[in-house]
Structure 1
Amino acid sequence: MTPNPRHLILNLLLGAGGQALSARTAVAACALFGLRENSVRVALARLAASGLVEPAGRGSYRLGPQAAGLAGDVAQWRGAAARLRDWSGGWIAVHTPPGASAGAAAPAATRRAARRTRERALGLLGLRELEPGLHLRPDNLAGGAAAVRDRLTRLEPDGDAAVFVARDLDPARERRARALWDGSALNRGYRATRQRLERWLARADRLPLADAARESFMLGHDAIRQLVFDPLLPAPLVDADARQGFIDAVARFDAAGQSIWNRFREETAP
Structure 2
Amino acid sequence: MQHISFGDLPQPGARAIVLDLVARGDHPTVTTAVLVKAGAAFGIEATGMRTAIARLRADGRLIQIERGIYARGPQAEPIGRRLRGWRDVIDRQIVWDGGWLLSVTGAAERTDRTTWRRTLRAFDLEGFDEAETNLWIRPDNRAGGAAATRAALTDLGAAPTLFLARVEDLDAGRDSQLRSEWREARQDADYGALTRALAEHRQRSTGEPLATVAATTLVLGREAIRRIIRDPLRPDGLGGVDALRELVSEMVLYDVVGQAAWRAYLNLPAIA
Return the letter of the residue paired with 1:119.
L
**Which moved further from structure 2: 202-211 or 51-60?**
51-60
Shift of 1:225: 1.0
Pairwise mapping of residues 139-150 of structure 1 onto structure 2 (< 5 A)?
139-150=140-151
Return the letter of the residue paired with 1:86.
V
C-alpha distance in structure 2 between counterparts of 1:178 and 1:166, whole Å:
14
Task: Provide structure 1 residue ranges, at least 5 long, that are not aligned to the other structure.
Answer: 104-109
Which structure 1 residue ranges, 4+ long, deviate > 4 Å from structure 2? none
TM-score by length of 1: 0.86
Tell me whether 1:35 sits opposite 2:44 in the alignment: yes
Please provide the CA RMSD for this pair. 2.3
Which of 170, 180, 183 aligns to 1:181? It is 183
Change (3 A) 1:54 1:117: closer
TM-score by length of 2: 0.86
Which of 83, 87, 100 aligns to 2:108? It is 100
SS at match of 1:182: helix
Aligned residue for 2:35? 26
Return the letter of the residue paired with 1:162.
F
Shift of 1:266: 0.6
Pairwise mapping of residues 117-156 of structure 1 onto structure 2 (< 5 A)?
117-156=118-157
C-alpha distance in structure 1 between counterparts of 2:185 and 2:195, whole Å:
17
C-alpha distance in structure 2 between counterparts of 1:192 and 1:242, whole Å:
10
Pairwise mapping of residues 111-260 of structure 1 onto structure 2 (< 5 A)?
111=113, 113-179=114-180, 180-182=182-184, 185-186=187-188, 189-260=190-261
Change (3 A) 1:243 1:16: closer
Q: How many residues align?
A: 259
Task: Provide structure 2 residue ranges, at least 5 long, that are not aligned to the other structure.
Answer: 1-9
**Superimposed CA distance per residue, residues 201-253 of structure 1 (whole angstroms, 9 cap, x where no aligned partner):** 11111211011011111111111111121111110211322221112122222
Shift of 1:30: 0.7
Q: Percent of aligned positions with the same letter in both sequences?
A: 32
SS at match of 1:135: strand
Shift of 1:181: 2.4
- Asked if structure 1 preserves the Cα contact closer than 8 Å seen for 2:60 and 2:74, the reply is yes
C-alpha distance in structure 1 between counterparts of 2:216 and 2:268, whole Å:
18
